[in-house]
Chains A and B, each alone.
Chain A
């Protein structure tokens, strides 16, 4: 069984603040992929990043960075210098490397960036 937990239901920050979205996962698979998706008010899921369980290097893409720690089963997402356009619901997701590969999503964190 797989499970993804996003304990933060909603976060509100002021523009230019840094914000970290937490994600903790459970899986019995030895190899798996982790993801972050953004869901703006329009509703479409926008892919942000994929991380293979073998690769524990942190990644930075512009204002976004991800911290993967296999020892604590966490895959946290940080937005630096947040902007109003970052306001959305963010989902962490997991799927195994084998099998049907359906994604298991967390319940999401709603981020509101105030101007």
Chain B
């Protein structure tokens, strides 16, 4: 597709369930970011991939959060034993180049997955 896609768009989980959120970045984009957006707040950084390497996971709120990008394209954000405070919109963004290359690469955002934990 032309843009970043995410699935599912909406997910309702019972507390304690595991969930997996998928991101399909723009083809050829090296960098991939995950953000968490709580209701009424701005997005907050979770983790960053350069190709298949997870270079920064400093924003992951707990060890229940896990992300992967095994082939350097599609990425999955997994949340184990979901809690009510995990309810948020999870945004994925991709950009063409890598940070530190000396040039800016715009981040393109997907529509997000709205996760509701009951």
* A residues at B contact (CB < 8 Å): 4, 6, 33, 37, 42-45, 47, 50, 52, 91, 93, 97-108
Mostly helix, strand, loop or mixed at chain A's interface?
loop
| Of the residues B31, B108, B109, contact of A101 by C-beta under 8 Å | B31
**Segment 59-115 of B: residues with Cβ below 8 Å from A:** 59, 89, 91, 93, 95, 99-100, 104-112, 114
Q: Does B55 contact A (CB under 8 A)?
A: yes
A-B contact pairs, 19 of them (CB 8 A): A4-B42, A6-B42, A43-B112, A44-B110, A44-B111, A45-B43, A45-B91, A47-B108, A50-B106, A93-B42, A98-B100, A99-B99, A100-B56, A103-B45, A103-B107, A107-B42, A108-B40, A108-B41, A108-B42
CB contacts (< 8 Å) of B18 on chain A: these are: none
* B residues at A contact (CB < 8 Å): 31, 33, 35, 40-45, 48, 55-56, 59, 89, 91, 93, 95, 99-100, 104-112, 114
Report whether A98 and B42 are in contact in the complex, using a CB–CB cutoff of 8 Å: no
Report whether B48 and A100 are in contact in the complex, using a CB–CB cutoff of 8 Å: yes
Closest residue of chain A to B114, judged by CB?
A: A43
* A-B complex: 4 closest residue pairs judged by Cβ atoms: A105-B42, A101-B99, A102-B45, A45-B109
CB contacts (< 8 Å) of A91 on chain B: these are: 42-43
Report whether B112 and A44 are in contact in the complex, using a CB–CB cutoff of 8 Å: yes
Please, how many angstroms separate the alpha-carbon atoms of A100 and B57 in the complex?
Answer: 11
Please, how many angstroms separate the alpha-carbon atoms of A42 and B112 in the complex?
Answer: 10
